[in-house]
């Protein structure tokens, strides 16, 4: 059974610091891996999606890497800002029933960026 773990559960950093969030998964047979952001009381916003054949994806100050063989992904946030404060969730996608991606979520990392 696929399990997704995120470490740390919570992180507080001063503004401007570069930081890394970690995600690990137990079964390397994934379809893709996604990183999401969730603000309090809100839905999820997709940040980056890495297909199983890719090693990394970049969007602005965000860079996500994927190492399937070791079951790990990292989300790197450069020059953090108070507006980056949110919960960050990673999810791996399993292909089943021929057509639909099923997402298995980690429990998230709560990030606080102090001004």
Contact 8, 23 (CB under 8 A): no
Which residue, among 80, 33, 79, has the nearest Cα to 55 in the 3D structure? 33
Contact 3, 26 (CB under 8 A): yes
Among 14, 60, 83, 99, binds other proteins (CB under 8 A): 99
Contact 48, 59 (CB under 8 A): yes
Among 4, 23, 92, 113, binds other proteins (CB under 8 A): 4
With tokens 């399993």, the residue in question is: 94
Among 28, 63, 74, 101, binds other proteins (CB under 8 A): 101
- Selected range binding other proteins among 20-28, 40-48, 64-72, 73-81, rule: CB under 8 A: 40-48
Q: Is 10 left (phi over 0), alpha (psi -120 to 50) or beta?
A: beta
**Minimum CB separation from other proteins for residue 2, in Å?**
11
> Site residues for other proteins, window 71-90 (CB under 8 A)?
89
Binding site for other proteins (CB under 8 A): 4, 31-32, 34, 36, 41-46, 49, 51-53, 89, 91, 93, 95, 97, 99-103, 105-108
């Amino acid at each position: 059974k696929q399990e997704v773990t995120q470490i740390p559960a919570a992180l507080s950093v001063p503004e401007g610091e570069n930081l890394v969030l970690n995600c690990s998964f137990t079964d390397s047979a994934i379809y893709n891996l996604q990183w999401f952001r969730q603000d309090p009381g809100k839905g999820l916003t997709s940040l980056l999606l890495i297909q199983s054949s890719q090693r990394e994806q970049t969007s602005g100050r965000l860079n996500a890497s994927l190492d399937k063989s070791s079951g790990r992904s990292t989300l790197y946030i450069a020059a953090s800002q108070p507006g980056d404060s949110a919960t960050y969730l990673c999810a791996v996608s399993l292909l089943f029933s021929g057509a639909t991606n099923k997402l298995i979520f980690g429990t998230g990392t709560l990030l606080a960026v102090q001004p």
